[in-house]
Structure formats: C-alpha cells, structure tokens
Chain A
Amino acid sequence: MPARPVLQQADIERALTRIGHEILESGDADTGAPLILLGIPTRGVLLAERLGAVLERLRPGAAVVGALDVTMYRDDLRRQPTRTPQPTRVPATGIDGATVVLVDDVLFSGRTIRAALDAINDLGRPRAVRLAVLVDRGHRELPIRPDFVGKNLPSAAAERVNVHLAETDGVDEVVVGTGDGTEATAS
C-alpha cells in the first residue's frame, strides 16, 4: 500500500501556530525563567526552529531555539549500526533554571524522549521540561506524555508514520504507510 498523506503543508503550519499559542497560554513564558525550545535531530530541530519563529511573531523574544542530540543516550545503541550524532546547541547561558520545551516530530514508544531527559540531566537542571510533538501516534512503551500535540494520529503498531519537511525532504507533509514499524524516525 502506498504511503497515505494525513497532514499537508497548511495543516502542519496550523498545528505549529496552535502549539505556539498553547505554549504562551500555559504561562511558561511568564515565569521570568528563559524559555528554550530544544529540537531533537533531525526533524525536531527544524520543527523547533519553525515553532521559534511562530513564538517570535506572537511575542518577540519569548523563546530561544537549540538542538539536543540524544544518540549517545539511546537504549538501543547496541542493537543498531553505528549512529552518527548530530550537534547539540544550547544557549551559552545554559539550561539551569530555564523552562525547556523538547520538540520532536513523532511521539511513538517514548524511548527517544527518555533518552532526551537523560541528556538534559547531564546539561543542567531546568526549572521544568515540557514536550511538544507534531504527531502523537500512540503505542507508548514508557510512562511519557506530551504537553503540546499538533495532531493525535491513532495508528497500528506496524504502520509507519513519517514527517517530511521541506528542508530535508522537499515537501511538508505527514504520511502513513505500511511497514515493519521499526524505522527510526517513527520512534
């Protein structure tokens, strides 16, 4: 079965705008603590940058954007061929006392987020950590839940949910296809 698109470019844009509003409404931007959006490579970083642009429009200076690589913290390193880490970028002032919003494309098992929480732990002690995802497809294997969701997408465990973004894939869309469900981008 060919991959079936479930979100188009306009849907993705709308979802990010709504998440931006929700972050501001949550009060996390009003605590006086810095608000840091940390994207998880590869597509989480791109989404964090877009979300940062949305927040900049809504309230200039509300948030800064960075990237958090979690490769070294994964629990499946020994089951996979060598993974090449991507750069981690955090503000020079660090994340101590800040509110961190993790940004990823698809929330699936929750294992990536578990790794990200460990990685954050080694970087400092934020005031709070939130989780924003473009798509929540269910099938959690760990007690992890998102704070901001672009779209809930009930899926079969064997299906593949892939987010394509213009910067990496030439087009903005979310597609569901049949597969073995083990692809890294769906985790």
Chain B
Amino acid sequence: MRHLLSVRGLSRDDAIGILDLAEDMAAVATRAVPKLPALRGRTVANLFFEDSTRTRLSFESAAKRLSADVITFTAKGSSVSKGEGLKDTAQTIAAMGVDAVVMRHHASGAARVLADAGWIDAAVVNAGDGTHEHPTQALLDAYTMRKTRHGDASRGRDLDGLRVAIVGDVLHSRVARSNAWLLRTLGARVHLVAPGTLLPHGVGGWPVTTGSDLDAALDGEPWGAVPDVVMMLRIQSERMHDSFFPNEREYAREWGLDEVRFGRLPADTMVMHPGPMNRGLEISSAAADSARSVVLDQVTNGVSIRMAVLYLVLGSGGHDGDIA
C-alpha cells in the first residue's frame, strides 16, 4: 500500500486485512514494552492545517509505538499564516527527510493532490480533507463495531448485516462519507438521518438509505428492526456559514440523542461519536457516559488502526500497489 487517501479503493479483503492487523497492534499495548521496532529509522510528519487533538495525538502515538520518529506541523503559528502554500510547506517538510506524511487539510482532495502532484516522494495518509474523507476514522469505527460485536472472535470477519444509523450533520462530515462507503464494503447497512438541509447533494449516489426522522429510525426505519449502532455526528458550527436549522434547542429536540431517546434503545445498541462531542446538542451526557457508549473505545482503537496503516505504507521497502 503506497498511500491511504480514501476508503473507496479498499476491497472487502483489504479492509478486513487492515482490521486484522490492527488486532495484532492492539495486543502490543498490553505488553511489558508496548513498542515494536518495525519503523525504526523512519520519519513520519504530521501536517495539520486544521485543528485536531485526537487525530493528531493518535497518529503521533501510533508512529511512536512503531518506533518511528515524528515531526509535527500545525498551521497555527507557522509560515502558513504568512501565506505559504501547500506545495512549499510540503516540500519544506519533505526536504527534512520524511518517509510518510499524515495530513489534515481544510480543502477536500488535498491529500490526493499531495500524493499525485509529484512534489514529494513520501507516502501520504489522509487524516481528513475538507468535507471529503477521513479514512482512518471509518476504519477505527468499523474496528470498534466488529470488536464490540464479536470480541475475541473478530479476526477475519466483516460487519455482515449490521444496522448502522448515522445521525446529524452529514453535509459537513467526512466521517459520514468515509463510513458510508467502508461500512457498505464490509457488508453493513447504513441509514443516514439528518434534517434535509444537512444532507449533501448527490447523497442519492451513496450506498445508503436516508431519512429525516430520528424517532422513526430508532424504531426500526427502514430495516424493520432497531439499529445495532447509533453514530451521532458533531454539529460543525465552524463550517456553518448559513442557517441550516432554526436554533440549537430545536436541533437537540429533533435530532439529538437525548435521555428519552437513549432510554428507548436496547441494551446492546452501540452509541458512537467521532468526537469532539457537543454535549446537550447532538448527544446527551446520559448517552455519552453510559455503558453502551463506545466513544472511548473508538479513541483507543484509533491508535491500533493508525499503527496498522502506518505499517502498511512504511513497513516494506518496495511499494506494492496504491490503495486509492
């Protein structure tokens, strides 16, 4: 695997392979020395043109567990604020001798540009590009679903038939996009629930069903059975330059996982959130802090998934195939 830019190019076997590898990586965390020497002497650059805490720390910790050296760049307080463009920033970092670039960027498609433009020779891992994709998040979500469902018997399995409701700000969510495609590849069924204003144009071409009534979805629309997973998305106020719903109270009332809705869910329904959470808006504290919430598992599993991805793009000498 040369780069990881999108989940769209992953086959079912590719995806299961990454999840299985992450199982091995997770086992490392429990050992006396939770480190592997696989990427000794390799350097990973984290290029974060957009704010992020958990993704950046997660990649950093994954790289360090594989013994790679890590350099981190954040746009705030850098030459980007002096007007430096992506090409120059990337080439500057690459000139320092970097084997892989983990990039988050506010422009959709930025990771693809960096991988294809020929500016740098390093492997590129997309850590979120605009409202396009966030492949490692979708992988860690799939891993969390599989692990919660199947426990130690997870290896080699897909998500056959799992019913996943993804609720909220789909329009601005790269997490929803990546999940929609990857979960489909892994055999799950995805239903998007959002106010009409927060569903993107072209959602008809996604491998999902859509609706706007959260209560109906929790009652079993469109499957005739309650969802196995309810994934709440963050309302991305920083990307909302328009009025998408009347006010926060009304949003919370119609599309928030409040205590009453949460109380209706069966005891084995997983509640997920990619973080950071707006408590009281899209998710109530009762749901977020409950035993059904796997939000912190998602964070833990994120490190294992990113170790697997970094190993796959850097763990060999030769580049054997590009996963677009």
Interface contact A72-B32, CB-CB below 8 Å: no
A178 at the interface (CB under 8 A from B): no
Q: Mark A85-107, 1 if CB is under 8 A from B, else 0.
A: 11110000010100000000000
Interface size grouping (class) on chain A: 20 to 34
Instruction: Knowing A69-B24, A122-B31 are in contact, say whether A81-B320 is a contact too (CB < 8 A).
Output: yes
Interface contact A123-B24, CB-CB below 8 Å: no
Instruction: Knowing A73-B37, A122-B31 are in contact, say whether A88-B320 is a contact too (CB < 8 A).
Output: no
B residues with a Cβ closer than 8 A to A are 1, 17, 21, 23-24, 27, 31-33, 35-38, 66, 155, 311-312, 315-318, 320
Interface contact B316-A84, CB-CB below 8 Å: no
A120 CB, min distance to chain B CBs, angstroms = 10
B308 CB, min distance to chain A CBs, angstroms = 10
Instruction: Knowing A94-B32, A123-B31 are in contact, say whether A88-B24 is a contact too (CB < 8 A).
Output: yes
In-complex Cβ contact of B36 among A72, A79, A83 (8 A) = A72
A153 at the interface (CB under 8 A from B): no
Chain A residues, CB < 8 A from B35: 122
A122 CB, min distance to chain B CBs, angstroms = 4
Q: Mark A58-70, 1 if CB is under 8 A from B, else 0.
A: 0000000000010
B7 CB, min distance to chain A CBs, angstroms = 19
A82 at the interface (CB under 8 A from B): yes
A124 at the interface (CB under 8 A from B): yes
Chain A residues, CB < 8 A from B316: 77-78, 80-83
Q: Which residue of B lies closest to A85 (CB)?
A: B24
In-complex Cβ contact of A83 among B23, B66, B315 (8 A) = B315
The docked-state distance in angstroms from the alpha carbon of A84 to that of B31 is: 20
Interface contact B21-A124, CB-CB below 8 Å: no
Interface contact A82-B312, CB-CB below 8 Å: yes
Chain B residues, CB < 8 A from A88: 24, 27
Chain B residues, CB < 8 A from A69: 24
A-B complex: 9 closest residue pairs judged by Cβ atoms: A78-B317, A72-B38, A122-B33, A82-B316, A72-B36, A81-B320, A124-B32, A85-B24, A79-B317
The docked-state distance in angstroms from the alpha carbon of A36 to that of B230 is: 44
Interface contact A87-B24, CB-CB below 8 Å: yes
A62 CB, min distance to chain B CBs, angstroms = 25
Q: Which residue of B lies closest to A125 (CB)?
A: B32
The docked-state distance in angstroms from the alpha carbon of A121 to that of B97 is: 30
A30 at the interface (CB under 8 A from B): no
Chain B residues, CB < 8 A from A124: 31-32
Chain B residues, CB < 8 A from A183: none
**Number of residue pairs A-B, CB distance < 8 angstroms:** 56
A56 at the interface (CB under 8 A from B): no
Interface contact B27-A87, CB-CB below 8 Å: yes
Interface contact B315-A82, CB-CB below 8 Å: yes
The docked-state distance in angstroms from the alpha carbon of A121 to that of B66 is: 16
The docked-state distance in angstroms from the alpha carbon of A87 to that of B27 is: 9
A22 at the interface (CB under 8 A from B): no
Q: Tell me the A111-159 residues at the B interface (CB within 8 Å).
A: 118, 121-124
Q: Which residue of A lies closest to B27 (CB)?
A: A88
Interface contact A77-B38, CB-CB below 8 Å: yes
Pairs A–B under 8 Å by Cβ, sample size 23: A73-B37, A73-B38, A77-B38, A77-B317, A80-B316, A80-B318, A81-B316, A81-B318, A82-B1, A82-B315, A83-B315, A85-B24, A86-B24, A87-B23, A88-B24, A96-B32, A122-B31, A122-B32, A122-B33, A122-B35, A123-B32, A124-B31, A124-B32
The docked-state distance in angstroms from the alpha carbon of A52 to that of B81 is: 64
The docked-state distance in angstroms from the alpha carbon of A83 to that of B312 is: 9
Chain A residues, CB < 8 A from B1: 82
The docked-state distance in angstroms from the alpha carbon of A39 to that of B320 is: 29
Interface contact B37-A118, CB-CB below 8 Å: yes
Q: Which residue of A lies closest to B155 (CB)?
A: A87
Interface contact A72-B318, CB-CB below 8 Å: no
8 A-B pairs besides A81-B316, A82-B312, A87-B27 with CB distance below 8 A are A72-B311, A73-B36, A73-B38, A78-B316, A79-B317, A80-B318, A84-B17, A123-B31
Chain B residues, CB < 8 A from A83: 315-316
Chain B residues, CB < 8 A from A73: 36-38
Interface contact B38-A80, CB-CB below 8 Å: no
The docked-state distance in angstroms from the alpha carbon of A122 to that of B24 is: 15
The docked-state distance in angstroms from the alpha carbon of A73 to that of B17 is: 20
Q: Which residue of A lies closest to B308 (CB)?
A: A85
Chain B residues, CB < 8 A from A118: 37
Q: Which residue of B lies closest to A79 (CB)?
A: B317
Interface contact A84-B21, CB-CB below 8 Å: yes
Interface contact A85-B317, CB-CB below 8 Å: no
B135 CB, min distance to chain A CBs, angstroms = 18
The docked-state distance in angstroms from the alpha carbon of A112 to that of B1 is: 25
B236 CB, min distance to chain A CBs, angstroms = 36
